[in-house]
């Protein structure tokens, strides 16, 4: 099984309505630290972002934050990380995180979380990088998203092999194991008539 040395985690800058969301972030953070996997994330100290970073650092792990100048100016930066990189734009932030990570995980969040995760999924699909992408499903939060992806396959917009690239598990250990075992997909993004 390949070794993951770093994982980028995308998650909410809010904690969400269900305490289970924060508990899952803490559990993932502890698991990353225990396995010696560096956390790469958006550099904030608030919401689920702060919870996972705190858990990593409190358990002897390494946390690398990448934050924009604008967010740092709003005093949202986590100052207790192994390293904090300040960049000019969101585009630069996403590129730095994607380059530094061996894999990607999405926790519950909103527009920004979805945007960041599906960009790296698309890059995997297009062969821009060959890195696994997974979702930590907390209390069924992502069940509607899974159904939407299945519907996109049925409607002829996503190849089944590309749908299968988006790994999903409700356990941090199970998800990390799946990410480590993942093999790149070599199917073209463009569906032929037999795939539709």
Residue 140, in any domain of the structure: yes
Instruction: Say which residue, 192 or 155, is predicted with more confidence.
Output: 155
Residue 154, in any domain of the structure: yes
Domain that holds residue 57: 6-181
Residue 88, in any domain of the structure: yes
Residue 195, in any domain of the structure: no
pLDDT of residue 148: 98
Residue 190, in any domain of the structure: no
Residue 186, in any domain of the structure: no
pLDDT of residue 192: 61
Provide the CATH number for the domain around residue 38: 3.40.50.450
Dihedral over alpha carbons 65, 127, 136, 40 (to 10 degrees): -10
* Dist CA 7 CA 18 (whole Å): 24
Q: What is the mean pLDDT of residues 160-172?
A: 96
* Dist CA 61 CA 118 (whole Å): 26
Q: Does residue 196 surpass a pLDDT of 50? A: no
Give me 50's structure tokens: 């702060």
Residue 187, in any domain of the structure: no
Tell me which residue of 99, 131, 113 sits closest to 4, measured CA to CA. Answer: 131
Percent residues over pLDDT 90 in the chain: 89
**124-138 residue pLDDT tens:** 999 999 999 999 999
Residue 173 CA to its chain's centroid (Å): 15
Give me 117's structure tokens: 């995760």
**142-155 residue pLDDT tens:** 999 999 999 999 99
Q: CA distances (Å), 180 to each of 66, 117, 132, 136, 139, in order?
A: 24, 18, 8, 15, 23
> What's the whole-model pTM score?
0.94
Residue 194, in any domain of the structure: no
* Dist CA 31 CA 27 (whole Å): 6
The CB density around residue 195, as the number of other CB atoms within 10 Å, is 14
Domain count, the chain: 1
**54-94 residue pLDDT tens:** 999 999 999 999 999 999 998 899 999 999 999 999 999 99
Average per-residue pLDDT in the chain? 94
């Amino acid at each position: 099984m390949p070794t993951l040395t770093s994982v980028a985690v995308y998650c909410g800058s809010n904690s969400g309505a269900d305490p289970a969301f924060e508990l899952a972030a803490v559990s993932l953070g502890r698991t990353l630290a225990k396995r010696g996997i560096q956390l790469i994330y958006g550099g904030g100290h608030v919401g689920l972002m702060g919870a996972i970073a705190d858990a990593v650092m409190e358990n002897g792990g390494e946390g690398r934050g990448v934050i924009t100048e604008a967010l740092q100016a709003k005093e949202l930066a986590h100052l207790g990380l192994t390293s904090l990189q300040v960049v000019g734009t969101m585009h630069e932030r996403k590129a730095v995180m994607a380059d530094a990570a061996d894999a990607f995980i999405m926790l519950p969040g909103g527009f920004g979380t979805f945007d960041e995760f599906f960009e790296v999924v698309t890059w995997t699909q297009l062969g821009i990088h060959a890195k696994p992408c997974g979702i930590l499903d907390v209390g069924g939060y992502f069940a509607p998203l899974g159904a939407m992806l299945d519907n996109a396959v049925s409607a002829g917009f996503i190849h089944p092999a590309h749908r299968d690239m988006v790994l999903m598990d409700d356990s941090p250990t199970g998800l990390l194991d799946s990410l480590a075992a993942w093999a790149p997909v070599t199917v073209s993004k463009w569906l032929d008539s037999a795939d539709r």
